[in-house]
Chain A
């Protein structure tokens, strides 16, 4: 059974810092990996999708990498802002038609 782990569980940093969130998964036979953002009491917003054949994806200040063979992904946030404060979720899609397997998330606070 696929398991997804996110480290750290919580992170608090001053505004302006660059930071890295980590995600690891136990079964490397994935189709894609998706990073989400979740604000308190809200739904999930998709940030980046990396297909299994890709090594990285970028969107603005966000960069996600994927090392499928080692079962790892990182989300890099450049020049962090207070508005980046949220919970960040990593999820993998395996073979078949079923859904995503999620990590428990990293709760990020950016201090002004």
Chain B
């Protein structure tokens, strides 16, 4: 049981390049989330998926797109990377329900855009 896995662990991009961050969970959770963590800002929600087939914007969605490929996988795409997107990206998952459950986090992807 690996929990939440993310690939890659590290990435350096040039401004304007594109890339996709991958996330997968093996806990059969319905809900999945993407956050970014910046110094002095804390973690902020980029996008979330309450269930397979649905996605919604969080607090900071500009410059990103997401795909909920199936129940296990939730990817985050940067179409044209900008230096402001240099950050650590975390994927998380949780069981849904009337009273939402604990969120479990992946190890993160450290992205630098030059």
Contacts and interface: CB of A to CB of B under 8 A. Distances in A.
Interface of A: 4, 31-32, 34, 36, 42-46, 49, 51-52, 89, 91, 93, 97-105
Interface in B48-68: 48, 50, 56, 58
Given A43-B108, A97-B31, A102 B42 contact: yes
Interface size class for chain B? 20 to 34
Given A44-B90, A104-B42, A105-B42, A99 B50 contact: no
Contact of B90 (A4, A43, A103, A104): A43
Interface of B: 31, 33, 35, 40-45, 48, 50, 56, 58, 90, 92, 96, 99-108
Contact of B43 (A31, A45, A49, A102): A102
Interface of A is mostly: strand
25 contacts: A32-B99, A32-B100, A42-B107, A43-B106, A43-B107, A44-B105, A45-B105, A51-B99, A91-B103, A93-B100, A93-B103, A97-B31, A97-B50, A98-B45, A98-B48, A98-B56, A99-B33, A99-B45, A99-B92, A99-B103, A100-B33, A102-B42, A102-B44, A104-B41, A104-B42
B48 to A, nearest CB: 5
Contacts of B90: 43-44
Nearest to B110: A41
